Amino acid sequence: MKNIFAKLNIGSYVLGVGAVLSLVSVIIAIISCSPAGFAIVQMPMIILFTIIAILLVVGAVAFSVWKTDGLIPTLMLLGAILLLSFTLFNMIDGKQDVLGTVMFSDLEKGHAPTEFACYVGFTSMIFYIISIVVTAVGAFLPITKKASLDQAN
């Protein structure tokens, strides 16, 4: 176990932060749909895409430690970023009615469950954006120390 952590470089830790932020994002998204009547149809797809994206990030790091950084981990990270982007799109699509009525009109002002669903859903979208950016930055960094030594030579 100690040997595995010795092989990890800054990119793997950044990708880990991106995966944790994705998990936090999906938890916040589920909480935003908890008030009665504010569930969105896209929630199963949002959960599935987030879980697959997290597994792709973990798989890319594991593959880099097991074999080497290269095309396969890069494609896995690209897939994770695309899935998180699709998830963000689905979250925006599902919450557009609530966002419109609370933020851009006075139709639901003062109604606590609607405002909760709006603002917590918006928070989830912000967390998804941050997780996409962190994962994209981590994709440009070397995942293992072995790869960074190979690139230096």
Q: Is 144 helix (H, G, I), strand (E, B) or coil?
A: strand
Strand, helix or coil for residue 5:
helix
pLDDT recorded at residue 124: 96
Q: Indicate the DSSP class of residue 117.
A: H
Spatial neighbors of 50 by CB under 8 A, at least 6 apart, are 22, 23, 25, 26, 83, 84, 87
* CB count in 10 Å sphere of residue 129: 15
Query: Contact at 8 Å (CB) between 127 and 25?
Result: yes
Whether 135 and 15 have beta carbons less than 8 Å apart is answered as yes
Output the pLDDT for position 153.
Answer: 47
The ranges of the chain with pLDDT < 50 are: 147-148, 153
Structure tokens at 38: 């504010």
Positive or negative: CA dihedral 8, 11, 14, 15 = negative
Model pLDDT, residue 21: 97
The whole model's pTM is what? 0.87
List pLDDT tens digits, range 101-140: 888 887 877 888 888 989 999 999 999 999 999 999 999 9
